[in-house]
Structure 1
């Protein structure tokens, strides 16, 4: 064979070496044959910087919805638990209400800073002002009935003024001592001294229908009129319905007895 050309084998085909350096040049195709395909470089590759990156993870669209539903359920549960706690835990006013010391007529009740007793009860349709002035009427009538409670108070260890006096019915409605005229026993004008008993009357204006349910409440709120978490006397008055009707029908005016030192 003439030594003019060397044979180069590509795959299963033999191609003559091209001119120049047959060891470094790509195989030269024979006339009428297609050139071999260069498998080292992929044809027409797209720009890697602009090729979209495909994720192999499956998109789970339902996860945000589940998270929202879980958060909503947690809020609902928290609100329900809060409502249950609120329903079973007493509010501030209930927690700080005064300590009620219950007694009966004729027996002293310990109210921490003083002792209180109810001596008697009477009523009338008209009250005569114990300290009338020219500008006001000397009598005070009412659409209900006047209830006059005679009480005895004794300070315990230090001077004290009993400035809270009220009657309360079975429904919890409170009727404070009347302010239509001067009542020095419970308006802060009378300071009780330790060991010195003082007795006098306090007048209340109430509906006739609630008179049989009444109890009197007495306390010493102090300088700031605050008797929360402090002692308070509660003494039922024990008035019958018939007695209340008799008081309403009475035409004679009653005068409130002023406070005085007693034994």
Structure 2
């Protein structure tokens, strides 16, 4: 890993090869339908027809099954480990909470500030206090904890008014990662990931991961998490570029810049070093 990072030429070549990679199949006809186009934050990051989260149209506020969200499989093709999605738009907030509900999700990882340099990155899709109603989903803010300057954790009480069932959803919000860039330190993101996984441990539902378009920062986070989880399960060989191709087979544009790819490699190397240091000598 360290050799890999030091060898800039090799990194450059690997990134070039990744940029040339074409996913197959890669049709995006549903996402490009006239009624769905305005539900996409970016026209370059939309769902593949073969790999998209479908809402139950009968429960949807506009009788549509479309949301710009992709199931991301790790090793079990039946159960996605993650759902990568864009930051909700004002018109897609109800769809977002419907997706949370229908997929049994209890953890949301948010990797973008709401606005950056005056540009809206994500709609404020939760109440700042009390509760908001989004179609048939009532969201109550239970608590908000500032863990450190880089991230905070919010707890919501989510109620389906059709069935009167309720559930608790935890949102981990990483604040200091800007669009097309990387966090200032791998440490802060690795600490953040540890918090997320501690909360999630033992669950079998997918983790919702979103930034603004659901590809650059979301792809980088999922890549790091997936590789480190494979290691924790005792995988003998790790191919980060191949893992990224596997992600791009499921959602276009995952990890957008060479800098983000390099950041993922660095984060994995650091975590491995930390694990080795902690082993009894």
So what's the TM-score if we normalise by structure 1?
A: 0.25
Which of the pair is proportionally richer in helix?
2
Structure 1 or 2: more strand by fraction: 1
